[in-house]
Structure 1
Amino acid sequence: MKKICYLLIVLVFIFSCKKKEEAVELALPVKVADLKNETLELTYSGNAEIKPVDEVPYTASSSGTLKIINFKNGDYVQKGQLILAIDDQQTRSSQMSASSEYSIAKVEYDKMRTLYEKRLVTETDYFAAKSRFDSAAANLAATNDSVNRTIIRADVSGVISGLNLKQYQEIRVGDTLFTLVSEDTMELEIGVPANTISMIHIGSAVKVKVSEINKEVEAFVSEVSPAADPVTRQFLIKVRIPNPDRELKKGMYGVASVDLGSTQGLVVPQTSIVIKGISKVIFINDNGVAKQVKVNITNQNDQSAVVEGEGLTTGVQYLIEGQTTIENGEKIRVVQ
């Protein structure tokens, strides 16, 4: 009899253990974290092609033979350096003639002015000489300007681009010569939605990630459009990027993150938020049962969000792994 009782006790114990194991196996494994009141740094991100702030195209304003080419594509030039020179014989001849006429007219004018001051010539003769001198001076200035246009100097410091010319080739007025790209300062433009533009101002700090050089560089907002684009309904902002080492090149791609300040609240990772129909929810641990809580996102950045929801307070456990496959009311067990 004692053996039978002992056997029954063992069977009951084994059966109860099996039930507990089944119950544990039915509970889905999840990872959780405690809700905390934290500071969330806010940013707005956009991407665009990087381009130079100053990009100056040069076209010929004089005709003639290209005599001097001092630089090639990719060369860095300082402001004021001579890049090209065009030999325009007609312009040079006109300048020599104008210079000679000016010299003669000046000698005559100086002489007539001296005589006029002594009242030895008439006022008519004096003003006639002055008129001839003024005309000669204007003509010389015009021819000097024409000669100056045959000499092409750098208006800004930068890199030569698009120079496809050969020495001694003939140049005509309007011909494309080259482009001078100033790489000291670059910029990009991104669109910002209406609900964010009020948080961005000239001078707002920006970080720009450039994958081509594997760097994140400091920048700032230089312009904020006061009106939305009629097509995209976004406000364009310009981000200015100092480039003292000239690592950034035209055509590189940048991802700009604009600093929008910070906010306080219950901060959760974006990955913990699940879309259910038209609602956004998180799951909390309600005594071993997954409970779905609809949340309102009050602020967010790319990684995290500040949320509000019924029953959400500091210390409440919420799911950070397993939430995408769980259903409301399912049993869960917390794992490390």
Structure 2
Amino acid sequence: MSMSTVDAPMGRGDRTSRWVPRGDRPAWARAIALAVIVSAGVALAGCSRKEPQPEPVRAVKLLTVGAAPLHAQLEYSAEVRARVESRLGFRVPGKIVERQAELGQHVKAGQLLAQLDARDYQLSAQAAQAQVNAARTQRDLAAADVQRYSKLKEQSFISGAELERREASLKAAQASLDQAQAQLASQGNQASYTRLVADVSGVVTGIDAEPGQVVAAGTPVVRIAQDGPRDAVFSVPEDKVAQLRTGQEVTVRPWAEGAPLKGTVREVAASADPVTRTFLVKVAIEGAQVPPLGATVYVEPGALGREGIQALTLPTTALRQEGGQTAVWVYDAASGSVRSQVVRIATADGNQAVIADGLQPGMQVVATGVHVLSPGQKVTVYQPRSASPQETAAPGASAASAN
């Protein structure tokens, strides 16, 4: 049995020690000793350094880079519009008192669309009619004078100069009458211009003014898409407009339902839009079942197709972003590791990215799981469980071919 010593008083200024069995120690002393031992163990454990965990060796799927034909076809979203769309307005200013046309309504030539307040023009026409009546009275009076003076001249009661003056007065009165009649016709036209009628048959596609609004002469009030041919209108970027020519055939596919239609490039804008910097292209739609106005269609220009062009492509799962650039992991069969390779993307071919620069045919790149790898990391080539002996014997071969 282990022993311990304790001090016991013997007399004034004298102390002595005696051995006490450990089992007879107080409970608080045993707790303190245990705490000291635990603290020392924790301190020793904290001072020791753990060994780092080895980096796991990941299995990756590889793709062999190779050239293959592209299959994607460029298509553009277009809107069906009328070949001719008119913006109709009044030829005289005034206040709109009535509008008969409604949005989407089909109107015929000569049908009333809107009307202005015509009271002022009617009063002007009445004033012009009064001037015509006055001028006609003056002309009739001058004609009567000429007839009377002609008889006096035959009887030699007046000179020839006097008759000539009467004839001149008649001509002046006739000219005044002609002027008044012309003014009456003009005022009559002004009154008729207060009625806005459709000059062609078509569909109302827009309303730009409402009753109670005062409009100036020529202000558009109603827009009408004339009946007749339809165009598919879309925009192309400036790097594609040079490939489009008037007369080229295109395929027009309705967005909702219906069989594809044939189309012909009818017009290519000569200048770019100042806002979007794109060029407007109009395609004449041919066929009996032409989509309605405003419908969305897809236009596939044959001149912009990439069918059969050889290019290098990769799936999007093989791409990653590195410092603002697109990169892939290239597999090094000699060292069994991967390295980062920056690539440049030209365009898209369906779900594939077309590689313009950075890779060469025959390289092996990681197809999936690119975000869990690091430069120089050791990897193994993933082999399916049902792999054939030929596939197992060639670990560097790709599981699939990237075009």
User: Which TM class, normalised by the smaller chain length?
Assistant: 0.5 to 0.7
The reply to whether residue 295 of structure 1 matches residue 343 of structure 2 is yes
1:82 pairs, out of 109, 112, 115, with: 112
TM-score, reference length from structure 1: 0.56
8 Å Cα contact 1:186/1:242 also seen in 2: yes
CA offset at residue 38 of structure 1? 1.7
Q: Match for residue 238 of structure 1?
A: 280
Unaligned runs of 5+ in 2: 1-55, 147-162, 385-398
Corresponding letter in the other structure for 2:107: V
8 Å Cα contact 2:328/2:340 also seen in 1: yes
Residue aligned with 1:135, SS: helix
1:128 pairs, out of 168, 172, 187, with: 172
1:333 pairs, out of 382, 391, 400, with: 382
CA offset at residue 79 of structure 1? 4.7
Shift in CA distance, 228/88, structure 1 to aligned 2, threshold 3 Å: closer
User: Pairwise CA RMSD of aligned residues?
Assistant: 5.5
Question: Which deviations, in whole Å up to 9, do the C-alpha atoms of 1:8-58 show, x marking residues without a partner?
Answer: xxxxxxxxxxxxxxxxx944242636523324657497x899998847374
Question: Which deviations, in whole Å up to 9, do the C-alpha atoms of 1:173-197 show, x marking residues without a partner?
Answer: 54989432539768877684x6x26
CA offset at residue 268 of structure 1? 1.0
2:194 pairs, out of 124, 144, 150, with: 150
Unaligned runs of 5+ in 1: 1-24
Structure with more contact order per residue of length (Cα contacts < 8 Å, sep ≥ 6)? 1
Corresponding letter in the other structure for 1:276: E
TM-score, reference length from structure 2: 0.49
8 Å Cα contact 1:228/1:235 also seen in 2: yes
Structure 1 residues 1-336: aligned runs within 5 Å: 26-30=57-61, 32=63, 35-39=66-70, 43=74, 54=85, 56=87, 58=89, 61-63=92-94, 66=97, 69-86=99-116, 88-95=118-125, 98=128, 124=168, 128=172, 131-154=175-198, 157-159=202-204, 161=207, 164-165=210-211, 172=214, 174=216, 178-180=221-223, 182=225, 192=237, 196=239, 199=242, 201=244, 203=246, 222-224=267-269, 226=271, 229=274, 235-240=277-282, 244-246=290-292, 248=294, 260-262=304-306, 264-269=309-314, 271=316, 272-284=318-330, 287=333, 290=338, 292-298=340-346, 300=348, 303-309=351-357, 312-313=360-361, 318-329=365-376, 330-335=379-384
Name whichever structure is richer in strand by fraction: 1
CA offset at residue 149 of structure 1? 1.6
Percent identical among aligned pairs is: 16
Q: Judge which range, 87-96 or 201-210, deviates more.
A: 201-210
8 Å Cα contact 2:340/2:375 also seen in 1: yes
8 Å Cα contact 1:95/1:144 also seen in 2: yes
8 Å Cα contact 1:285/1:291 also seen in 2: yes
CA offset at residue 147 of structure 1? 1.6
